[in-house]
Structure 1
Amino acid sequence: MISRFWFRFCVFTLLCAPLTGVAAAHHGHSHKQAAVTGFDGTYRIDIKTTDGTGSCARSYTGTIKVQNFRVIAMSDPAATAAGGILDDGTVSIALRKNDQVANVGGKMKGGTGKGFWSSPTAFCGGLWQAERED
């Protein structure tokens, strides 16, 4: 029987795969078009681990900065991000720190958002919520 974590991970992967092409298409937008998204800014992120054991922290709080649909900065300087927030509020981000990877999906509406994350390398996952700081 497939575990709840792997079921969620597979669903997440299937749902987010089409977003990769959409996010790449937005990368070419001009600055003027991207400025009207309403999602540019700095967000406080609260992350909770709900599935898995081992190296995943039970909770984490940090910040990310989004500009032109992309995550351009994070409070953890050792981490990198690919992806961002699309103009409809869809969140699709891949995070990397050292040899660990986490895939993040969800939805932003106004200055808040929530969703789920999973790590195929650390075998854990959970929920996140965000609130705009600026």
Structure 2
Amino acid sequence: MHDTTRRLRRLGLSAASLALAALLAAPATALADNAMRFDGTWSVRTSAETGSCGKNYDFKLNVKGGKVTYAGYWPVNAAGGISKVGIVKMTLSHNGGKVVATGLAEGDQASGDWSSPEPNCSGSWFAKRA
């Protein structure tokens, strides 16, 4: 093994150790605040780009503690949420249909892609905190 490779591995381990130590040393309130930074009601607009899922749909989602729930009147099950760094991963299901959405939230806006295996369609989405 080359000297450079060994040094890089040691540096990587040191960086990981420092990051873990910083996380453990962070005050609990700062972590809690960070987890709730995306809390609120979000207005979502989806656009279908492939398949036969229709064109656009508008709906609202609630986020609390990073967890997402559907805020409409249809019986939609929402699972997943937004991580403290803004990574969006969620699943919405209704009447046997399922949509998987991923993306990124930043400030009061979020966007990403979605897909549905049945019917086979996909598209993009955009959300703004209401």
**Fold-level match, TM-score > 0.5?**
yes
Describe how 1:86-97 pairs up with structure 2 within 5 A: 86-97=83-94
Identify which of 34, 37, 43 aligns with 1:36. Answer: 34
Which residue number corresponds to residue 115 of structure 2? 118
Structure 2 CA distance for partners of 1:76 and 1:34, relative to 1, 3 Å: farther
SS in 1 for 2:34: helix
- Return the TM-score normalized by structure 2: 0.72
Percent identical among aligned pairs is 30
Task: Verify the 8 A CA contact 1:62 1:76 in the aligned structure 2.
Answer: no
Which residue number corresponds to residue 44 of structure 2? 45
Structure 2 CA distance for partners of 1:34 and 1:100, relative to 1, 3 Å: farther
Identify which of 47, 68, 71 aligns with 1:74. Answer: 71
Task: Verify the 8 A CA contact 1:31 1:68 in the aligned structure 2.
Answer: no
- Structure having greater relative contact order (Cα 8 Å, sep ≥ 6): 1
Count residues with an aligned counterpart. 102
Q: Which has the larger radius of gyration?
A: 2
| Structure 2: unaligned runs, 5 residues or longer | 1-27
The CA RMSD measured in Å over matched residues stands at: 1.8
